[in-house]
Amino acid sequence: MADSTTGEQNITRFGEEGLRGRLERYRELRITEEELAIALLTPVMLFLLAVSFYPIVDTVWASLHTGYVIQLPTQSTEFVGIENYRKLFSDGSFWNALGVSLFYTFVSVPIELVFGLGLALLLKADFKGKYFAQAAILFPWALPTVINAKIWAWLLNPDYGVISDILVRVGILSAPYPFLSKPDVALYAMTSITIWKTTSFMALIMLAGLSSIPDHLYESARMDGASRWRRFRDITLPLLKPTILVALIFRTLPAFQAFGLPYGLTGGGPGEATTTLVLYTQQAAYNNPGPTNGGFALGSAAATVITMIALVIALIYVATLYEPEVR
């Protein structure tokens, strides 16, 4: 590279080229690859530093102190070590929320994956009206989560809901059923709604993966007399593995951070039956931001725990997946 100067040549700060040479190049906008790369990457790195990495550090810092009080700058915060974590871990609601989030995540994601793959195999074919069908099937994915929650709250309304109505008409139920006000059932309902919404997203990713599998593999397998199932098991599945792992990361982390759905659907109820970790954290932080209770400190501790768990999940996935594609 042009800039790699030996110690001997590196007499001036600008190396063999000298300041004049540099200015000359800049004037002509003939900068080196390295300089161009720095110029192109600096905005993104600054952005991420300010809005992603600094807040994480601040959250960890806050979780080790007494509650910081907004709008009262005179109030000082005090280092309390793991006190907030002790408070958090002795709160039954926290463990309940952890359980809810784990159930919600690890039940919905595998089901979405299987349904999504099936849907993608359907959508792979060319057929009349494919464009509209695809748009309609992808629509739930684009639907804002909290609006989705409102829609399903109406569909599952305990007295007038159309889901009860349909189930009564086909004879499964004899009267409207309050799906969202039974503690056991509400979590299943919420999980099902997420599966309804996100299967289309899974299908989208799977479709992308399927289209990257070369057709000639199937051709030659067919010539060799491989059955449809064999072709699926020995060609599609293995070649789809990287896509499946990407899809798992793409869905597991957001599912683990579910907030809008429980907020809009049930408000976390009945009781705490659908209070996810993030909803718990948000409530801990914002319903209780007083100086003594330190809602923000407790919320920060909970947020830090969520970060840790998310990173562990991501690490497990990445360890099985990561093959950097850098030239």
Partner 1 sequence: MSIVDSVRETRLEDVALWDVGKRLGFYGSILAMVSISMFPVFWILLSSLKPPSELFVFPQEFLPYTIAIEDGQPTLVQQFPLTLENYRTALQERPVGRYLINSAIVASATAFIDVVLGAMAGYALSRLRFPYKLQVLLIILFAALLPFISRLIPLYKLAIDLQGTAFGPFFGLNQYLGLILPYAAFQMPFAVWIFQAYFNELPASLEEAGLMDGLSRVGVLFRIILPVSMPAMATTAIIVFIYAWNEFLFALTFMTQDSKRTITVGIALFGGQFNSPWGTITAAVFMSLVPLMVFMLVFQKKIVEGMTAGVGKA
**260, 288, 291, 293: residue in contact with partner 1 (rule CB under 8 A):** 260
State yes or no: residue 223 binds partner 1 (CB under 8 A): no
Identity at 182, one-letter amino acid code: K
Q: Which residues pair with 321 in a beta bridge?
A: none
State yes or no: residue 243 binds partner 1 (CB under 8 A): yes
DSSP letters spanning 188-200: HHHHHHHHHHHHH
Q: Which stretch binds partner 1 (CB under 8 A): 12-20, 92-100, 104-112, 122-130?
A: 122-130
Whole-number minimum distance, CB 79 to partner 1, in Å? 17
Distances (CA, A) of 223 to 62, 220, 274: 64, 5, 52
State yes or no: residue 51 binds partner 1 (CB under 8 A): yes
Which residue, 7 or 43, is less far from partner 1 as judged by CB?
A: 43
**Tokens matching residue 171:** 């004879």
Which residue, 11 or 36, is less far from partner 1 as judged by CB?
A: 36
Taking the C-alpha atoms of residue 253 and residue 307, their distance in angstroms, rounded to an integer, is 10
112-134 exposure pattern, b = at least 16 Cβ within 10 A, e = fewer: bbebbbebbeebeeeeeeeeeee
Number of residues forming the site for partner 1 (CB under 8 A): 111
Whole-number minimum distance, CB 269 to partner 1, in Å? 8
Question: Restricting to residues 74-113, which ones interact with partner 1 according to CB under 8 A?
Answer: none
**23, 50, 114, 316: residue in contact with partner 1 (rule CB under 8 A):** 50
Q: Which stretch binds partner 1 (CB under 8 A): 14-22, 29-37, 77-85, 89-97?
A: 29-37
Instruction: Return the SS3 of 12.
Output: coil
**45, 172, 237, 316: residue in contact with partner 1 (rule CB under 8 A):** 45
Spell out, one character per residue from 169 to 198, where the chain touches partner 1: x when CB under 8 A holds, - when not. x------x-------------------x--
Which residue, 83 or 148, is less far from partner 1 as judged by CB?
A: 148
Is-contact 194 255, C-beta < 8 A? yes
Question: Restricting to residues 52-81, which ones interact with partner 1 according to CB under 8 A?
Answer: 52-56, 58-59, 62, 68, 70-71, 73
State yes or no: residue 291 binds partner 1 (CB under 8 A): no
145-163 exposure pattern, b = at least 16 Cβ within 10 A, e = fewer: beebbebbbeebbeeebeb
- For 186, what's the count of Cα atoms within 13 Å in the CB-facing half-sphere? 26
Whole-number minimum distance, CB 188 to partner 1, in Å? 18
Taking the C-alpha atoms of residue 207 and residue 113, their distance in angstroms, rounded to an integer, is 12
Q: What angle do CA 117, 122, 124 make, to 5 degrees?
A: 90
Whole-number minimum distance, CB 22 to partner 1, in Å? 15
Q: Which residue has the tokens 């059955």?
A: 227
Whole-number minimum distance, CB 66 to partner 1, in Å? 14
Whole-number minimum distance, CB 226 to partner 1, in Å? 19
State yes or no: residue 41 binds partner 1 (CB under 8 A): yes
